Amino acid sequence: MKKRVILLLLFTILITTTSCSAKEQNRYSAQFLELFNTVTEIVGYSDSKEDFSVFSQLIYDNLEEYHQLYDKYNEYEGIHNIKTINDNAGIKPVKVDQRIIDLLLYSKNIYELSDGRVNIAMGSVLEIWHDYREEGINNPESAKLPPMEQLEEANLHTDIDKLIIDEMDSTVYLSDKYMKLDVGAIAKGYATEQVCKIAEDNGYKNFLISVGGNVRAIGKKGPKKELWSVGIQNPDRYSEQKSLFTLEITDLSLVASGDYERYYTVDGKRYHHIINPTTLMPSEYFTSVSVICKDSGLADALSTTIFNMSFEEGKAFIESLDDVEALWVFQDGKLIYTENFEDLLKK
């Protein structure tokens, strides 16, 4: 029997009383911990615990495949992934799964859309920041910033045009031997979107998934077909108010980028993980931004994009797109959102 890898499966049952003909509706939730180095949560309605377990396993299995393909740190038997591509930079093309080709092509489009503010070819720069951040977290007393000259040298190897994709042969080649891919700004949201499509193709039409806060709502909830309620996290971890807003959504994604999760402190100042490609330093415009649109991959990319823009630039950029809303949380706690954002607020 296939091993069940879901670490925690929580069940609650809601029995509806809307009409004498309505059958019992069961609300189930599942949670697993390790994929994309974050917590994934699923909520859905099913006739039985067994049926929901099949659904949860479908989500897990497919998300695990995307996790392994897009992993830049670890190797997996029989899989050529992002790490394999990086390891072969300047050496040879690597034959890869179509799902990697699709992500990289999508990422090139995002690079153009964001005017370079989301660049998956920045791995050499981001790796330096990652190493200094990890050292700073593990040894706070000796935490320091990476030298700018080191970052500038690494930035010479971030030309996305040196990412060579051969769709006919399904190969990827980095022509600069010092170049590294880092798909962290896109991969989680992109994978969430693809897995939700797989679930829909398998007949699941009403569920909610959160992959490390990348929220995707499909259909509606319960026998009354209500909208899904999702909260926007307050970036101030010391506040008693855990959510800034609660939205009611269907067939939409909510993704936030912020400075309050992956960071370390140097001389009393916090340095987070979202690096501005222009300055090579963590962006300081906002504490967090949130984006709401249909596609989770796009929402993920857009949240990073506008986090790396001034408010005036970001607002104009978001307003140039169709069916996209955004919320900006400034360093002083001020909140500004797009024109139709209020339409999504829970009444």
The predicted-structure confidence for 76-119, as pLDDT tens digits, reads as follows 999 999 999 999 999 999 999 999 999 999 999 999 999 999 99
In whole angstroms, what is the distance from residue 62 CA to residue 37 CA?
15
Tell me the sheet residues that pair with 216: 209, 253
In whole angstroms, what is the distance from residue 162 CA to residue 222 CA?
49
3-class DSSP assignment, residue 304: helix
Nearest to 179 by CA among 102, 101, 87: 87
Q: Would you say 44 and 55 are in contact if contact means Cβ atoms under 8 Å apart?
A: yes
What confidence score (pLDDT) does residue 24 get?
A: 61
State the pLDDT confidence band at 23, using cuts at 50, 70 and 90.
low
Residue 309 has pLDDT above 70, yes or no: yes
Helices and strands per DSSP (H, E), number in the chain: 8, 16
Q: Report percent pLDDT > 70 for the chain.
A: 93
Q: What Å distances lie between residue 292 and 171, 284, 320, 322, CA to CA?
A: 33, 22, 14, 11
Q: What Å distances lie between residue 252 and 31, 197, 215, CA to CA?
A: 21, 13, 8
What confidence score (pLDDT) does residue 22 get?
A: 42
> Sign of torsion, CA 108 109 114 115?
positive
Mean pLDDT of 283-298: 96
The number of beta carbons lying within 10 Å of the beta carbon of residue 23 is 9
Buried b (16+ CB within 10 A) or exposed e, 114-133: bebbbbbbbbbbbebbbebb
State the pLDDT confidence band at 11, using cuts at 50, 70 and 90.
very low
In whole angstroms, what is the distance from residue 89 CA to residue 70 CA?
16
State the pLDDT confidence band at 124, using cuts at 50, 70 and 90.
very high
In whole angstroms, what is the distance from residue 187 CA to residue 27 CA?
29
Q: Would you say 292 and 344 are in contact if contact means Cβ atoms under 8 Å apart?
A: yes
pLDDT digits (tens, 9 = 90+) for 196-235: 999 999 999 999 999 998 999 999 998 889 999 999 999 8
Residue 16 has pLDDT above 60, yes or no: no
Alpha helices in the chain (DSSP H): 49-69, 82-87, 98-113, 123-138, 148-155, 187-201, 296-307, 311-319
What confidence score (pLDDT) does residue 2 get?
A: 43
Tell me the sheet residues that pair with 325: 292
Nearest to 290 by CA among 243, 227, 347, 251: 243
Tell me the sheet residues that pair with 29: 10, 43
What confidence score (pLDDT) does residue 136 get?
A: 96
Range in 7-11, 95-99, 260-264, 268-272 with the lowest mean pLDDT: 7-11
What confidence score (pLDDT) does residue 322 get?
A: 96
Mean pLDDT of 342-346: 95
What confidence score (pLDDT) does residue 315 get?
A: 97
pLDDT digits (tens, 9 = 90+) for 38-56: 999 999 998 889 999 999 9
State the pLDDT confidence band at 300, using cuts at 50, 70 and 90.
very high
Q: Chain-centre distance of CA 307, in angstroms?
A: 14
Residue 3 has pLDDT above 80, yes or no: no
**Of 176 and 233, which is predicted with more confidence?**
176
Mean pLDDT of 282-288: 95
Q: Would you say 316 and 284 are in contact if contact means Cβ atoms under 8 Å apart?
A: no
The hierarchical CATH code for the domain 82-174 is 1.10.3980.10
Name the DSSP letter for residue 35: G
Q: Would you say 220 and 316 are in contact if contact means Cβ atoms under 8 Å apart?
A: no
Please give the CATH topology (third level) of the domain spanning 227-347. Answer: T-fold (3.10.520)
Residue 274 has pLDDT above 60, yes or no: yes
In whole angstroms, what is the distance from residue 347 CA to residue 345 CA?
6
pTM higher than 0.85: yes
Mean pLDDT of 266-277: 95
The encoded tokens of residue 209 equal 């998934």
Mean pLDDT of 301-320: 97
What confidence score (pLDDT) does residue 34 get?
A: 85
Mean pLDDT of 172-197: 97
Mean pLDDT of 266-280: 95
**One-character DSSP codes across 153-174:** HHHTT--GGGEEEETTTTEEEE
